[in-house]
Amino acid sequence: MNTRQDAAPQVSFINDPVIRGIIYQVVAAVVLVVFFVWIINNTATNLAAQNKSTGFEFLWAPSGFDISFKVLEYSRSSSYFQTLLVGITNTLLVAFLGIIFATILGFTIGVARLSSNFIISSLATVYVETIRNIPLLLQLFFWYFAVLASMPAVRNSYELPLGSFINKRGIYIPRPTPDEQFAFVWIAIAIAIVAILALRFWAMRRLEATGKRFPVFFSSLGLLLVIVGGIWFFSGADLAFEVPTLQGLNFRGGVQLPPELVALLFGLSIYTASFIAEIVRAGIQAVSRGQTEAADSLGLRENDRLRLVIVPQAMRVIIPPLTSQYLNLTKNSSLGAAIGYPELFNVFGSTALNQSSRAIECISITMLVYLTFSLITSAIMNWYNARVSLVER
């Protein structure tokens, strides 16, 4: 018997799949580097031919233009760097508020779509199927030109609750004016939040260990009132509100929310909420029916069943696509330029670009800021997704 094993056939160097894969990657990398070098060199040559300089020193030069709405202090003598900061804060304001409103509305509509009440589920379905199939830009035009532009003049403003008013120039709300002692109240609020989180963590551990529920909501409310109310009383802090009042042709005092901000916030929140609602509905339906039956067998009420059993498991399915919707909302805020809202792209990627003639620098910085927003949002959501995901033992 011949027990000698035949040697494996030799593969030529060029036909080796490992070697061939390395060669393809090296060639692709070289081509990519050459392409970018050519782009950079061609851009530098064209700029030199037009006697245009490059660099970021223009950021410290005066901008020479004003911004209609800003959270930070800004004037015509402010630098382009301050213009960038105003654009960033304006974008973060509408993105942060939009994410909160869209999440609340989206979760409500998503749960309503699964309601056993035919009217509620039908209304939720009509909302989703209507809003998500209308372009966002068209919805922004609707809120800005059809709704807010049709509001009465300043003298005929509609009065809203809590001393607020709405007219063509936007919404006027009272301005809180805390005194110096109110800093102790803010510290008390922070302490109360930490205490409430610790109480909730203890209550969940107690529920898992003994099966006994603890009144977390009422206990947290009492804890908040005791800590904050006590500090407020003993510190003598005062919180007054400056109510807007009509004087002449305009309101004085309070805070003015321009119609551009209101229209953009409404449009982004309502549009994104329609997609979040579908994500929530799909996440809840992905939970096994046996989980609902097990919760029913334990005698849990419907609200407790949804809050303690269904939603925590559905969040593992909801979080990844929900992250994409948060990213889309933040990036879609750039559509505010169409209705005149001074967000990042409008004030820095457009106005500052035209004033400074630094197209490459302004566009590069704008893209980098949006990229940073997306990476930070993704990092936060990925951290939360890892917290709620299943851990194998």
Span 74-85, mean pLDDT? 91
DSSP letters, 65-80, are: ---SS-SS---TTSBH
Q: Classify residue 303 as exposed, middle or buried by CB count within 10 Å of its CB (0-12, 13-18, 19+).
A: exposed
Instruction: Count the helix, strand and coil residues of the chain and give each as a percent rounded to the nearest 5.
Output: 70, 10, 25
Instruction: Give the range among 113-122, 229-238, 296-305, 320-329 with minimum mean pLDDT.
Output: 296-305
pLDDT of residue 143: 93
- 3-class DSSP assignment, residue 212: coil
pLDDT of residue 326: 94
Residues 22-44 have pLDDT tens digits of: 888 899 999 999 998 888 788 77
pLDDT of residue 360 exceeding 70, the answer is yes
pLDDT of residue 207: 77
Q: How confident is the model at residue 10 (pLDDT cuts 50, 70, 90)?
A: low
- 3-class DSSP assignment, residue 178: strand
How far is Cα 346 from Cα 87, in angstroms, rounded to an integer?
Answer: 8
pLDDT of residue 126: 94
Share of the chain above pLDDT 70, in %: 94
Residues 115-157 have pLDDT tens digits of: 888 999 999 999 999 999 999 999 999 999 998 888 888 888 8
- Reference 67, options 343, 325, 326; nearest CA is 343
Q: How confident is the model at residue 4 (pLDDT cuts 50, 70, 90)?
A: low
Instruction: Give the range among 76-85, 246-255, 289-298, 349-358 with minimum mean pLDDT.
Output: 289-298
